[in-house]
C-alpha cells in the first residue's frame, strides 16, 4: 500500500426531508448572502426549489438565484454566475441539482475571487488558491461531485470539456435525500449508475499490489450497484434501493475506495471528449467506452481482470485460461449496462465512427496518459474502434 492522505471534509446530511434543514447548515457554515444555483427546471417542477428557499427564509438567510445550468455545464453560465455573485456580494454558493449544477457552482466559487479568467483553472494555466464555500442539495446519484474536489466544465466555443480539482472546492455540506432521486427518468438513473461504477473501476484497476482493504471496498460498492440498480429501474419509488445507490455514488468518488494505490482515469478522459462533442450524458458515454477499454487493456494484468469477473460478476474462475474468465466478466458488465437501458456502441450513443481520429486527437495526449495502462493517441483510436462496434 502506498502512503496517502484522505481528506473528505464535507458534512453529509443524509435521509428523508433533510433539504428542509438547508438554512440551518448554511448558517452553520457562515453564509450571509447565498447564490442558489440550479438546472433546467426539474427542481422547480418537483417543488424542491421552493422548499429550499423556505428553509433559507426561515433561517433569515438572504439569497439570489441563477438557474439554467445544462447537463455538461457550460462556461457561459459560469461567467454569468461570477458576475452576479460579485454584483450581489454573494459569500456562499448553494447548488440544488445534479453533478452539472454542482460543477458549475464550484467553477463560480473559484472564479469570484480570481482576477483572471476562471477557465485558466480548467486549461491548466492556474491552480485554485481561493474559492467561495459551496453547499449542495443533491438530486441525482451519479457524478459524486457532492463529495469530490473535482469540477468539469464545457467551453461553449468548440465544446471543449475540461476538468479541474482542488480540495478548496469540496463542498462544506451536501444534503442527500434519496427520495429526491425518485423523479429521475430511468435513463438518467441508469446513466448515473454507470458513472458510479466507472468511478470505482477507475480506482480498482491499479498497479499497486496488496491493497486488499481498498479492493474489497471497491467490490462492495460494485456489488451493491449490481443488486440495487435493477430494483429502481423496475420501481423508481424504491426508497431503500435509492438510498443505497445514493450513498454508493458518494463513496465511489470521495476517494475512500481509491486510497493507497495508483488509479487510471483514461476511460473518463476518453469519455469527456464524447460528451463534449456529442453533448451526450457522461454515464452513457462511459457505458460505451469503459468495457471497450477493459477489453483493450485486459492482457496488462489478466488476473486482476479475472478477479473482477469472479468477485463482481460471479463468473467461475477458469484456472487453465484466466483470460476467458476476464473476458466473460467484461461481457457481463456490458450486458448489465445494456439491460438497464444504456447504449453499448457508437450507433446507440449517437456517435460517428468517422469522428474517431478527431476524438483521439482532441485529447491532446503528449506521449502517453493514464495510471494503469499508459495510452497513446493510437491506443485511444483502437479502443474507440472496439467501442464503436460493440454488442451484447
Q: In this structure, what C-alpha cell is assigned to residue 54?
A: 423556505
String of b and e for 349-386 (b: at least 16 CB within 10 Å)?
A: bebeeebbeebbebbebeeebbbbbebebebbebbbeb
Of 30 and 186, CB closest to ligand NZQ? 186
Nearest distance from C-beta of residue 325 to Zn ion, angstroms = 27
Encoded one letter per residue, x for contact with ligand NZQ by CB under 6 A and - for no contact, window 260-299 reads --------x------x------x-----------------
**Could you count the other beta carbons within 10 Å of the beta carbon of residue 165?**
16
Please state, in angstroms and as integers, the Cα–Cα distance from residue 32 to each residue in 27, 105, 215, 318, following that order: 7, 17, 43, 61
Assess contact for 331 and 295: CB atoms under 8 A: no
**What is the bridge-based pairing of β-strands 160-165 and 150-155?**
antiparallel
Of 18 and 307, CB closest to ligand NZQ? 18
Distance, in Å, from the CA atom of 386 to the CA atom of 368, rounded to the nearest integer, reads: 19
Residue 58's SS3 state is helix
Nearest distance from C-beta of residue 341 to ligand NZQ, angstroms = 14
Assess contact for 161 and 72: CB atoms under 8 A: yes
| 142 binding partner (options ligand NZQ, Zn ion, none; Cβ < 5 to 8 Å by kind) | ligand NZQ
**What is the bridge-based pairing of β-strands 134-138 and 33-38?**
unpaired
Site for ligand NZQ contains 329 (CB under 6 A): no
Encoded one letter per residue, x for contact with ligand NZQ by CB under 6 A and - for no contact, window 294-323 reads ------------------------------
Nearest distance from C-beta of residue 45 to ligand NZQ, angstroms = 8
Encoded one letter per residue, x for contact with Zn ion by CB under 5 A and - for no contact, window 224-243 reads --------------------
Distance, in Å, from the CA atom of 356 to the CA atom of 95, rounded to the nearest integer, reads: 35
Nearest distance from C-beta of residue 302 to ligand NZQ, angstroms = 27
Restricted to residues 150-209, the positions that interact with Zn ion (CB under 5 A) are: 195
Assess contact for 376 and 365: CB atoms under 8 A: yes
Site for ligand NZQ contains 40 (CB under 6 A): yes
Nearest distance from C-beta of residue 367 to ligand NZQ, angstroms = 24
160: number of CA atoms within 13 Å, CB side?
A: 11
| 192 binding partner (options Zn ion, ligand NZQ, none; Cβ < 5 to 8 Å by kind) | ligand NZQ
User: Among 22, 100, 244, 377, which residue sits at the site for ligand NZQ (rule: CB under 6 A)?
Assistant: 100
Contact set with ligand NZQ (CB under 6 A):
39-43, 71-72, 97-101, 103, 139-140, 142-145, 148, 150-152, 180-181, 183-184, 188, 192, 195, 253, 268, 275, 282
Amino acid at each position: 500500500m502506498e502512503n496517502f492522505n484522505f481528506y473528505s471534509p464535507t458534512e453529509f446530511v443524509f435521509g428523508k426531508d433533510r433539504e428542509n434543514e438547508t438554512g440551518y447548515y448554511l448558517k452553520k457554515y457562515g453564509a450571509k448572502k447565498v447564490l442558489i444555483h440550479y438546472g433546467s427546471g426539474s427542481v422547480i417542477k418537483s417543488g424542491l426549489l421552493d422548499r429550499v428557499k423556505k428553509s433559507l427564509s426561515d433561517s433569515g438567510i438572504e439569497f439570489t438565484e441563477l438557474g439554467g445550468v445544462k447537463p455538461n455545464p457550460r462556461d457561459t453560465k459560469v461567467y454569468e454566475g461570477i458576475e452576479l455573485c460579485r454584483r450581489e456580494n454573494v459569500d456562499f454558493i448553494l447548488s440544488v441539482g445534479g453533478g452539472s449544477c454542482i460543477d458549475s457552482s464550484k467553477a463560480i466559487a473559484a472564479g469570484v475571487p480570481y482576477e483572471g479568467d476562471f477557465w485558466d483553472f480548467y486549461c491548466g494555466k492556474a491552480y485554485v488558491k481561493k474559492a467561495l464555500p459551496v453547499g449542495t442539495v443533491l438530486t441525482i446519484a451519479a457524478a459524486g461531485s457532492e463529495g469530490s474536489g473535482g469540477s468539469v466544465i464545457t467551453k461553449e466555443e468548440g465544446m471543449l470539456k475540461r476538468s479541474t480539482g482542488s480540495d478548496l472546492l469540496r463542498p462544506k455540506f451536501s444534503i442527500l435525500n434519496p427520495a429526491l432521486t425518485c423523479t429521475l427518468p430511468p435513463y438518467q438513473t441508469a446513466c448515473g449508475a454507470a458513472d458510479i461504477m466507472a468511478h470505482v473501476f477507475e480506482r480498482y484497476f491499479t498497479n499497486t499490489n496488496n491493497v486488499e482493504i481498498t479492493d474489497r471496498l471497491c467490490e462492495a460498492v460494485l456489488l451493491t450497484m449490481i443488486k440495487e440498480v435493477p430494483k429502481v429501474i423496475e420501481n423508481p419509488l424504491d426508497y431503500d434501493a435509492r438510498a443505497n445507490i445514493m450513498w454508493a455514488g458518494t463513496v465511489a468518488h470521495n476517494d475512500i475506495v481509491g486510497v493507497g494505490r495508483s488509479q487510471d482515469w483514461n476511460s473518463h478522459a476518453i469519455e469527456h471528449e464524447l460528451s463534449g462533442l456529442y453533448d451526450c450524458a457522461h454515464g452513457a458515454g462511459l457505458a460505451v467506452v469503459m468495457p471497450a477499454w477493459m477489453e483493450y487493456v485486459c492482457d496488462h494484468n489478466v488476473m486482476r481482470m479475472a478477479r473482477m469477473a469472479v468477485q463482481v460478476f460471479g463468473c467461475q474462475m477458469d484456472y487453465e485460461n484466466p483470460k476467458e474468465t476476464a473476458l466473460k466478466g467484461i461481457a457481463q458488465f456490458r450486458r448489465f449496462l445494456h439491460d438497464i437501458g444504456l447504449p453499448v456502441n457508437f450507433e446507440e450513443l449517437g456517435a460517428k465512427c468517422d469522428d474517431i481520429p478527431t476524438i483521439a486527437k482532441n485529447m491532446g495526449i503528449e506521449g502517453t496518459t493514464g495510471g494503469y495502462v499508459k495510452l497513446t493517441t493510437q491506443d485511444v483510436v483502437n479502443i474507440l474502434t472496439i467501442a464503436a462496434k460493440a454488442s451484447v
